Structure 1
């Protein structure tokens, strides 16, 4: 007789494996469609969101017809896996198949909705970008429009947690009460905190700049969140995060150098918004900056560069986000990507340890 714990482990791993297989199966058709509709940027990016000239970045970017929208593989495989497991659970002949379903109101309805909503909005932005429409440099939604959209998603999420789930506290591990940590009641500030974390996570999407980089980094993040959810007795959420990890594996297979496609906003916005929701569901917001350390470094490099140019009138790095700095220094793409993967694993392990201890 298989114990409940063992079965949950099997279900979690099977969700990752199934999503990977689905991702491999749907990618050829997606690639064909993306090339048919020429779903790639028609112009090289030579300006920042602020309109500033980006000489170094424009030199580094090559003229190539690599389509955006690869993130469809990730969220598409997760949705198909979720639906397949749900339908399998309805087979009356084998009662134990019901246990494979990980769609539940308590744990996964909200993250699934967030993943789909973020991905579809991102897909619209990708369409505007490749068609050259919109006010953003090179096409797509303007920065402030994106900012407002992400803020609105965060507002809905924060409202749901505060009023529907009645969550008021965030857990801060290893502080004041070692090793358990403390639960800090922040009251109505829970909503603006949710919006802030959502925006910060979305900003971390700048990591999607080199072949394989974003896929590996997001993989370590969702792997850590899956383990945390499992350890907290949230097996449905753990299986859902594992399915995302599986989708990322399939995406990475086609995204490592030379990339067959890029993640695009449909992947970035879907993953970052879902990452925020899962972090709050597992009460891991305090350690999210550690688990997602690479995203923090990427965004931090941009902020520090802007501050330095404003105050000191000089740059700290050759280009930002910081992976472009190493690119400008002559590091090969694969070297930057793999070293960032290693750092991301270290950050994920550190955050995981802190959360499990606390």
Structure 2
């Protein structure tokens, strides 16, 4: 029975996205919701200017609808379901506002970093209040070991770091056609396996709903992309994967399963520190995927390589949790 629910969840998430996208993409094009491309980015990206963005709205609709329908069929939605949808929708709306400012008000940078951070923190605070009221565990375990420690109220700082850091790391990864959709499908698939292993079926259903939704989006987002998810999608996915890690008590393992997102973020941090301290750049351009483009890799080669690395990280994460 559960196996069928998981299979139908992936199929529903995929089909909703595939059916909605051909309707939504022309609508975005008519509204002139086209992506602005940074002038300092790779020259090959300039031809993508004007490609419809904010496609993450379709992903959000698909995930919310699929999760509610499938959890309703298998069991009543739980607090975990509510928390997962709350963070996903909350960060999605924050990303939507950022995208709206970019494409409608023609401010290429969207929300300021401070405005975005305030929004992320507010959502995290509400999440933590509910988290504490329902007496979720504040214990953090070291993957592959028997060591664990209770952070108590300091867990809020840890949770805040995960939600803000996770959403920003995933957002940074969204830079090439199909890159984030593919790596997100792999990472959420890994967490779905682990949630299933813990009998957290609502979390597993939510995770595979995202897998189905982003795979459906990939049909239109693979190179050459007909639509971009924008911050609407990337911030929502980042908040969602951090929340899944928190609810499954696999917080630290997120660093492994989301290894591609970590590497992308580290490349930006390293680049900034190196340039400010020595005046030299470690990479031709950050995030890391742009570096490989500028050394001569085709966009598709970069994307497939990162997918492969993401799959390796997911397998390692599952191995650490299940078999070590």
TM-score (norm: length of structure 2)? 0.94
Who is 2:33 aligned against? 39
Determine whether 1:119 maps to 2:85: no
Who is 1:15 aligned against? 9
Displacement of 1:80: 2.3
**C-alpha root-mean-square deviation of aligned residues, in Å?**
1.7
Q: How does 1:328-339 map to 2 (within 5 A)?
A: 328-339=294-305
SS at match of 1:22: helix
Change (3 A) 1:345 1:166: closer
Displacement of 1:61: 2.4
Q: Which whole-Å CA distance do the structure 2 matches of 1:58 and 1:132 have between them?
A: 24
Determine whether 1:79 maps to 2:77: no
State which structure, 1 or 2, has the greater radius of gyration over its C-alpha atoms. 1
Determine whether 1:151 maps to 2:144: no
Contact 1:213 1:337 in 2 (8 A): yes
Displacement of 1:307: 1.0
Displacement of 1:132: 3.1
Q: Which whole-Å CA distance do the structure 2 matches of 1:107 and 1:12 have between them?
A: 17
SS at match of 1:170: strand
Who is 1:59 aligned against? 43
Displacement of 1:163: 3.8
Who is 1:322 aligned against? 288
- More deviation, 187-196/163-172: 163-172
Contact 1:130 1:139 in 2 (8 A): no
Question: For 1:186, which of 151, 159, 179 is the aligned residue?
Answer: 151
Displacement of 1:149: 1.2
Change (3 A) 1:111 1:143: same
Change (3 A) 1:155 1:83: closer
Q: How does 1:1-358 map to 2 (within 5 A)?
A: 7-41=1-35, 43-46=36-39, 54=40, 57=41, 59-63=43-47, 64-85=49-70, 100-101=73-74, 104-133=77-106, 138-175=108-145, 181-204=146-169, 205-357=171-323
- More deviation, 150-159/123-132: 150-159
Structure 2: segments with no counterpart, 5+ residues: none
Change (3 A) 1:65 1:103: farther
SS at match of 2:141: strand
Deviations 1:164-203 (A, max 9, x none): 324221121223xxxxx22211111100000001121122
SS at match of 2:140: strand
Q: Which whole-Å CA distance do the structure 1 matches of 2:272 and 2:284 have between them?
A: 12
SS at match of 2:80: coil
SS at match of 1:184: strand
Count, aligned residues: 322
SS at match of 2:126: helix
Deviations 1:141-173 (A, max 9, x none): 111111221122222223332343242211212
Greater helix fraction, Structure 1 or Structure 2: 2
Change (3 A) 1:301 1:237: same
Displacement of 1:263: 1.2
Displacement of 1:249: 0.7
TM-score (norm: length of structure 1)? 0.86
- More deviation, 194-203/154-163: 154-163
Change (3 A) 1:234 1:66: same
SS at match of 1:61: helix
